[in-house]
Amino acid sequence: MTTLTPILSQNWDRPDSFTIDGYRATGGYDSLRKALAMDPDSIVDLVKQSGLRGRGGAGFPTGMKWGFLPKDNPNPRYLVVNADESEPGTCKDIPLMLANPHVLVEGVAIASYAIKSNQAFIYVRGEVVHVIRRLRQAVADAYEAGLLGKDILGSGFDLDVVVHAGAGAYICGEETALLDSLEGYRGQPRLKPPFPAVAGLYASPTVVNNVESIASVPGIVANGAEWFTSMGTEKSAGFGFFSLSGHVTNPGQYEAPLGITLRELLDMAGGIREGHQLKFWTPGGSSTPIFTEEHLDTPLDFESVGAAGSMLGTRALQIFDETTCVVRAVGRWISFYAHESCGKCTPCREGNFWMVQVLDRLERGEGTEADIDKLLQICDNLLGRSFCALGDGATSPVMSSIKHFRQEYVDHFEKGGCPFDHSRSTVWADRPTTEEGGNQ
Amino acid sequence: MSEHNENNPEETPEVFTDEVVARLEQDAKEVISRYPKPRSALLPLLHLVQSEEGHVSKAGMQFCADQLDLTLAEVKAVATFYTMYRREPGGDYQVGVCTNTLCAVMGGDEIFSALKEHLDVANAETTGDGKVTLEHVECNAACDFAPVVMVNWEFFDNQTPATAKQLVDDLRLGRDVAPTRGPASLCTWKQASRVLAGFDDGRAGEGVQAAGPSLAGLELARRKGWSAPDPADLPIREQGEEGSK
């Protein structure tokens, strides 16, 4: 049986967990001291050995990313933390930065030292004002304590860290769009190559890492690569947040080794809400093809989820029970992708626009069998045909929902409307009527 | 927008007054100094001008352009790309109901409908008293607290139509309102914009460190006695394809 491994969330039940004193009381910044006594390259090697893979969804090996920075480029190097958490269903980095911003700051300092960068940025989405306050305070307190700034802990290493607030654009979670945004432009993805390691921020060598990836580094430095690989699977080492939301008894953050299953997580979270059954779920956000109950025992690691036809993504487990209309759910996601498409690439901009029209028609019961094929045809013209993965992500819920629930699409136009009572899906649907009486 | 304006009274001024420029220039210098290249300060500067007027006006964009030696068109191209910049004046409190799939299914749609009816406004409209601008928003990374309502980008978790209506009533009556995970009381839209521009309001220490669902896994682990492996006593792992990592 897999059990939980609270590491980044270990101190979250301390009321002062977000303060520098609270963080130091639980060993905070000891890893930075240890790292500054090491050779930078040996830290890169350590992270490579740990097998840490990017926690922002793509799963690229973090140490390898660090190792890609060219040795002969004379320009300054930058570390940019992607804290633009916006993928629907994903809700791990925000509570982490609210409760424990210093573990991210410590990770930033260690990672910057390892890649020989003297300037780091934390690009956080703008729609979370209190998280931005906490991050800025953590950075200011770390400067005050000599943990950032000039000659950190007497090591001779200098580092400046800027907390930068975005302004509302999902696309800026894509690393090259994020860099354009950080440079003061519209957030539109760049064509790769060149990759950010070669030409990133201000065309300089740049590492872009997710919050949880960077926050995992202090633990690896403190406890070693073998400690990290003692959790998880052969190729998906370590731990991560599994964020359960939706029709589950106890939604929330469950920090566990990669490879845990939804069946195990649901047992821990009290199961599907009482009196209901699992219908479909996303393993890692809306951009990952949906799963059903047949995938309850799929190990949630990069390889197993991929082999089962989806992606581990951000481990954002959105759980929907039998009251949920899959056509409505998918339609809403596609409205999101259409709204958030930056407009640079025609397949994504136009494809999502037209999918919204077709899905709306289907949901209203005014569609036809040809509309279902039309959706698949649009997906075929979208997938793999744009600069970035936003458009690819949009095809995931459409194609997977038609694969698993084609009959439900048909039911809509055969019955001339949505066969579901949406009020039954709400969190208050099964509560005593007095509580919400008079509101509906 | 003075009654004495000889031009169209709906038309906003083209530039800030000298007093505003003098004051904001100090702030702008500080923001620009944080970055290796000045243009990186554009998003924070747009938040800054929004903190002055409550929205990003032509005068605000012109101010940004002047500070960064950009054209008005270059600034406008950026300002109109990002959804957090209001292009028109709005209320003191921006109430955003998440209607992305997860929150919508859990009741966000019902909350949004209830508020539209209760406030008698449509999406992106402001109440007659100028207090509340209602809009639907995209996923705000609090799905385990669904359905979620954001006010001036602070979290109001686990809402229902009844609690959301009470919330907007309280905002309109000027009663104290506290986010579920945020400062002890709510800032106005302009004050929040100033924080986003990079100016601290000294309130980082207020509010809870974590709540409810954020602690679900940790509390369960504590009850069950589960923890991460002890680095001094690691479980023996099979020596399979270790080298292939």
Same domain, A317 and A387: no
Closest CA to A383 of A400, A359, A369, A407: A400
Confidence of residue B245 (pLDDT cuts 50, 70, 90): very low
For A261-294, b where at least 16 C-beta lie within 10 A, e where not — what string? bbebbbebbebbbeebebbbbbbbbbbbbbbeee
Same domain, A128 and A49: yes
d(CA A251, CA A244): 5
Same domain, A202 and A290: no
Please, are residues B198 and A200 in contact by the beta-carbon 8 Å criterion?
no
Contacts of B117 (CB under 8 A, 6+ apart): none
Q: Which of A87, A93, A126 sits opposite B84 (nearest CB)?
A: A126
Contact flag A9-B143 (C-beta cutoff 8 Å): no
d(CA A130, CA B192): 9
Same domain, A183 and A291: no
Q: Which residues of B touch A427 (CB under 8 A)?
A: 106-107, 146-147, 158, 160
In a domain, A9, yes or no: no
d(CA A180, CA A177): 5
Q: Please check whether residue B178 touches A, CB under 8 A.
A: no
Please report, as a single letter, which amino acid is at residue B175: R
The CA angle A182-A395-A278, to the nearest 5 degrees, is: 110
Q: Residue B57 is encoded by which pair of tokens? A: 């006006």
Contact flag B141-A244 (C-beta cutoff 8 Å): no
The β-bridge partners of A390 are: none
10-residue stretch averages of pLDDT, chain A, 440 residues long: 96 98 97 98 98 97 97 96 98 98 98 98 98 98 98 98 97 97 98 96 98 98 98 97 98 98 98 98 98 98 98 98 98 98 96 98 97 98 95 97 98 97 96 55
How far from the centroid of its chain's Cα atoms is residue A409's Cα?
Answer: 29
> Domain end: B153, B187, B221, which one?
B187
Please, are residues A166 and A124 in contact by the beta-carbon 8 Å criterion?
yes
Which candidate in B85, B93, B143 is best for mutational testing of the A interface (most A CBs within 10 A)? Answer: B143
- Asked, as a colleague might, if the bond just before B147 is cis with ω within 30 of 0, I would say yes
In a domain, A173, yes or no: yes
Same domain, B107 and B183: yes
In a domain, B229, yes or no: no
Q: How many CA atoms lie within 13 A of A312 on its CB side?
A: 26
Please report, as a single letter, which amino acid is at residue A5: T
Q: Residue B131 is encoded by which pair of tokens? A: 């207090």
Which candidate in B43, B103, B185, B215 is best for mutational testing of the A interface (most A CBs within 10 A)? Answer: B43
Q: What is the CATH number of the domain that holds A280?
A: 3.10.20.600
Give the closest-approach CA distance of B166 to chain A in angstroms.
11
In a domain, B228, yes or no: no
Pairing between β-strand B154-156 and β-strand B149-151 as defined by DSSP bridges: antiparallel
The helix, strand and coil proportions of chain A, stated in percent and rounded to the nearest 5, come to 45, 15, 40
Same domain, A183 and A58: yes
Contacts of B35 (CB under 8 A, 6+ apart): A162, B41
Give the closest-approach CA distance of B217 to chain A in angstroms.
4
Q: Which residues of B touch A223 (CB under 8 A)?
A: 231
Same domain, B102 and B136: yes
Coil vs helix vs strand at A124: strand
Contacts of B5 (CB under 8 A, 6+ apart): B11
Coil vs helix vs strand at A206: strand
Please report, as a single letter, which amino acid is at residue A297: D
> Domain end: A229, A258, A289, which one?
A229
Same domain, B22 and B60: yes
Which candidate in A128, A231, A286 is best for mutational testing of the B interface (most B CBs within 10 A)? Answer: A128
Following CA atoms A376, A382, A388, A393 in sequence, which dihedral angle do they give, to the nearest 10 degrees? -10
The total number of structural domains that make up chain B: 2
Farthest CA pair distance, chain A: 73
In a domain, A93, yes or no: yes
Q: Please check whether residue B148 touches A, CB under 8 A.
A: no
Same domain, B172 and B104: yes
d(CA A162, CA A119): 8
> What pLDDT, on a 0 to 100 scale, did the predictor assign at position B237?
62
In a domain, A437, yes or no: no
In a domain, A433, yes or no: no
Same domain, A129 and A156: yes
d(CA A60, CA B240): 22
Q: Please check whether residue B107 touches A, CB under 8 A.
A: yes
Same domain, A47 and A171: yes
**Is the pLDDT assigned to residue B5 strictly greater than 90?**
no
Which candidate in B81, B186, B195 is best for mutational testing of the A interface (most A CBs within 10 A)? Answer: B81
Q: Which residues of A touch B141 (CB under 8 A)?
A: 85-86, 90-91, 93-94, 125, 128
Same domain, A81 and A199: yes
Residues 22-81, chain B, touching A (beta carbon < 8 A): 34-37, 39-44, 46-47, 68, 77-78, 81
d(CA B77, CA B55): 16
| Residue A345 structural domain | 326-423
* Per-position DSSP letters for A15-69, written without gaps between them: TTTTSHHHHHHTTTTHHHHHHHTS-HHHHHHHHHHHT-B-TTTT--BHHHHHHTS
* Per-position DSSP letters for B66-135, written without gaps between them: HHHT--HHHHHHHHTT-TTS-SS---SEEEEEE-SHHHIIIIIHHHHHHHHHHHT--TTEE-TTS-EEEE
Give the closest-approach CA distance of A154 to chain B in angstroms.
24
Please, are residues A4 and B220 in contact by the beta-carbon 8 Å criterion?
yes
Same domain, B155 and B97: yes
Contact flag B101-A187 (C-beta cutoff 8 Å): no
Pairing between β-strand B154-156 and β-strand A160-165 as defined by DSSP bridges: unpaired
In a domain, B88, yes or no: no
Contact flag B81-A169 (C-beta cutoff 8 Å): yes
Give the closest-approach CA distance of A368 to chain B in angstroms.
23
The β-bridge partners of A244 are: A252, A317
Which candidate in B150, B156, B218 is best for mutational testing of the A interface (most A CBs within 10 A)? Answer: B218
Same domain, B116 and B177: yes
Closest CA to A412 of A339, A328, A355, A337: A328
Q: Residue B80 is encoded by which pair of tokens? A: 């109109």
Q: Which of A10, A167, A332 sits opposite B104 (nearest CB)?
A: A332
pLDDT digits (tens, 9 = 90+) for B202-214: 999 999 999 999 9
Q: What is the CATH number of the domain that holds A356?
A: 1.20.1440.230
Chain B residue with the nearest C-alpha to that of A223? B231
Contacts of A417 (CB under 8 A, 6+ apart): A364, A365
Q: What is the CATH number of the domain that holds B154?
A: 3.40.30.10
Chain A residue with the nearest C-alpha to that of B236? A230
Same domain, A349 and A317: no
In a domain, B196, yes or no: no
Q: Please check whether residue B83 touches A, CB under 8 A.
A: yes
Same domain, B46 and B100: no
Q: Which residues of B touch A349 (CB under 8 A)?
A: none
In a domain, B67, yes or no: yes
A 10 A CB-CB count for B153 gives: 28
> What pLDDT, on a 0 to 100 scale, did the predictor assign at position B1?
36
Please, are residues A120 and A139 in contact by the beta-carbon 8 Å criterion?
no
d(CA A93, CA A202): 26
Same domain, B100 and B56: no
Same domain, B74 and B97: no
Chain B residue with the nearest C-alpha to that of A183? B40
Whole-number Cα distances in Å, A298 to A234, A245, A312, B166, B243: 16, 18, 11, 43, 25
In a domain, B86, yes or no: no
**Is the pLDDT assigned to residue B12 strictly greater than 80?**
no
> Domain end: A229, A249, A266, which one?
A229
The total number of structural domains that make up chain A: 3
> What pLDDT, on a 0 to 100 scale, did the predictor assign at position B10?
53
Q: What is the CATH number of the domain that holds A195?
A: 3.40.50.11540
Closest CA to A56 of A89, A93, A88: A93
Q: What is the CA radius of gyration of chain A?
A: 22
Same domain, A164 and A248: no
Same domain, B119 and B168: yes
| Residue B173 structural domain | 93-187
Same domain, B23 and B62: yes
**Is the pLDDT assigned to residue B244 strictly greater than 70?**
no
Q: Which residues of A touch B150 (CB under 8 A)?
A: 127
How many A×B Cβ pairs under 8 Å? 311
Helix ranges restricted to H, A252-317: 262-268, 302-307
Confidence of residue B4 (pLDDT cuts 50, 70, 90): very low
Q: Residue B244 is encoded by which pair of tokens? A: 């292939």
Please, are residues A276 and A320 in contact by the beta-carbon 8 Å criterion?
no
Contacts of A356 (CB under 8 A, 6+ apart): A331, A334, A335, A338
A 10 A CB-CB count for B233 gives: 6
Contact flag A318-B35 (C-beta cutoff 8 Å): no
Same domain, B101 and B179: yes
In a domain, A293, yes or no: yes
In a domain, B10, yes or no: no
Mean pLDDT across the stretch B8-21?
79
Chain A residue with the nearest C-alpha to that of B78? A186
Same domain, A246 and A194: no
The dihedral built from the CA positions of residue B134, B137, B141 and B142, taken in this order, carries a sign that is positive
In a domain, B232, yes or no: no
> Domain end: A207, A229, A251, which one?
A229
Same domain, A35 and A157: yes
Q: Please check whether residue B199 touches A, CB under 8 A.
A: no
Q: What is the CA radius of gyration of chain B?
A: 23
